Chains A and B, each alone.
Chain A
């Protein structure tokens, strides 16, 4: 496995730019850009601690989960990497991956409750790690079951997109995945372009990268959109800062003219300041009345 350090290699960056990326690899790249987090997670799990990994959509949680599962496998541990579906199917999946019993003595498949007990019994006899991707989709019944496993000392690793502030999500120590640095995003884009046989100039990469923020999923998506020749849509990343209040605040400084006018006994300045204050007030009202950003796509 090739592992590239997440730390910013400044010298390399300034000397060679992103052209210095490693040779092309598949999009299910065997590289991870979250090496620090991965090592932290492995250490935590192997010392019996549980963790919750949270981030925005597309920030690389699933990839990180797969890397952790692979590493644990390689180290000879029993691992179950589960993506929640229905409660019973989730439990079945978990039991199958661990090698726990799923068939009753009468030859029928176990019920959900029986599967929970079976898995719990298995975990008391053998050390194993439970990894849940998309854990925010876990129903309450499974979350309660996981809490009981946690209380029994079972290490858990949950990956969730903005989970609610309750039960197991609140109880687990948390790591928040930050946006990837620009250089990593550029490398991902270059790799994705190469896979599609798409030749882009550095200028095109720089322009496309505007729409990604530090989100690796979006980095691949913008390349695919370019490949398909689609129209540019509004960027979907979440690294925004609304400058409207700043602009209004800056314009409000004009109101100070009124006080200057009054202090200096200059009627025209006083009146002009008053007019400008009214204009800023109207601008503020208009800006506040604009429709807000829709949370739905394509609106």
Chain B
């Protein structure tokens, strides 16, 4: 096999096996694929390492010692320190070396894969007329096929991998669930949903940002900030949006962090707006109510930028949990059947009827505006989502 065929074969194998387009890994694999041919001084690597190649070619036929499982095992052991330092690099090295000699099994002469236990040459397929001759036209066809495979592999992996692409073909919510589990901490997850709103029975064909996943149900946010529970149409009983088809994709890179917040008998504004959003652990500066500042009455900045814009997504703060509010018997929070209400009054607590329990789920500061001056206790999980450079 020609050096370029070895290189393309190992690049394709490594790219597919490690699901990567990382140039460092691929270059490592490509170089490693040349190493087995050190047993002949006319090869690229043989010319570089000529004392070794001369020594080897004086003693062994071509494609024996260096094209064997034994040599692969020796290299694997010698490179073990790399495995502990950078395991991906070690895998790339081994895949490159292995595919470098294994490709020769498809040539007329085969490889002595089990050398020195056996000098028998491993060949695929058994008929020598169907195997490759080095530099033949058939080998150039193989090169072209490998190049195509490599391109497909790159395309797959820059799009989130084979499974994501497969899920895109299936266009079912499972794909969203899988990608959310894999990448929601590092990227916005955007879902293009074709379906219909249950309450209004109007059709929808738009892109939503996926905020949460519960089983097969997706909590999605429309560009205007409204939230919906979306589910496959056959299973959609308590949801707002029935999905017919859904295509998921990675959005802009983000960084997320969470913080738990508990308090007793305080005004919500004091708790949420007191500057604590400047968090020590993340350095995130969230949008907040400025208690002492002149913009106290200004609503918080708009977090609901359309997810399709190319600008970095603004920092979003989402609140989930329960609040128990005192003197809130008159509390009215408008709710809608059309979409999910992130803030919902769920009932009274005990004999104190002036207490109200409010449930928050993926609520923004804007959603909490009506509760801003409420007194009470609360237990919230606060999630920060901040734009990050990729």
Does B113 reach chain A (CB closer than 8 Å)?
A: yes
For window 201-230 of A, CB contacts with B under 8 Å fall at 201-203, 205-207, 209-214
For window 160-193 of B, CB contacts with A under 8 Å fall at 162-163, 166-167, 170, 172, 174-175, 178
Tell me the smallest distance from the CB of B158 to a CB of chain A, in Å: 19
For window 96-125 of B, CB contacts with A under 8 Å fall at 105, 108-110, 113-114, 118-125
- The closest CB in chain B to the CB of A272 belongs to B166
Q: Which residues of B contact A247 (CB under 8 A)?
A: 124
For window 1-45 of B, CB contacts with A under 8 Å fall at 39-42
Size class of A's contact patch? 35 or more
- CB atoms of B64 and A182 under 8 A apart: yes
- CB atoms of B105 and A202 under 8 A apart: no
- CB atoms of B126 and A244 under 8 A apart: yes
- The closest CB in chain B to the CB of A247 belongs to B124
Q: Which residues of A contact B42 (CB under 8 A)?
A: 203
Does A287 reach chain B (CB closer than 8 Å)?
A: yes
- CB atoms of B59 and A268 under 8 A apart: no
Interface residue count on the B side (C-beta < 8 Å): 47
Partner pick for A206 among B57, B120, B122, B174, CB 8 A cutoff: B57
Q: Which residues of B contact A232 (CB under 8 A)?
A: 108, 133
Q: How far is the CA of A14 from the CA of B54 in the complex (A)?
A: 12
Tell me the smallest distance from the CB of B118 to a CB of chain A, in Å: 7
Tell me the smallest distance from the CB of A270 to a CB of chain B, in Å: 10
Given A183-B59, A293-B126: A268 and B121 within 8 A (CB)? no
Tell me the smallest distance from the CB of A290 to a CB of chain B, in Å: 6
- CB atoms of A14 and B170 under 8 A apart: no
- The closest CB in chain A to the CB of B61 belongs to A209
- CB atoms of B105 and A209 under 8 A apart: no
- CB atoms of B172 and A182 under 8 A apart: no
- The closest CB in chain B to the CB of A185 belongs to B61
- CB atoms of A234 and B58 under 8 A apart: no
Q: Which residues of A contact B53 (CB under 8 A)?
A: 203
Question: What would be 11 A-B contacts, judged by CB atoms less than 8 Å apart?
Answer: A14-B59, A18-B59, A182-B61, A202-B58, A206-B62, A210-B63, A232-B108, A241-B122, A243-B105, A293-B126, A299-B129
Q: A243-B124, A268-B166 are in contact. List 4 more A-B contacts (CB 8 A).
A: A232-B108, A240-B126, A243-B113, A243-B123
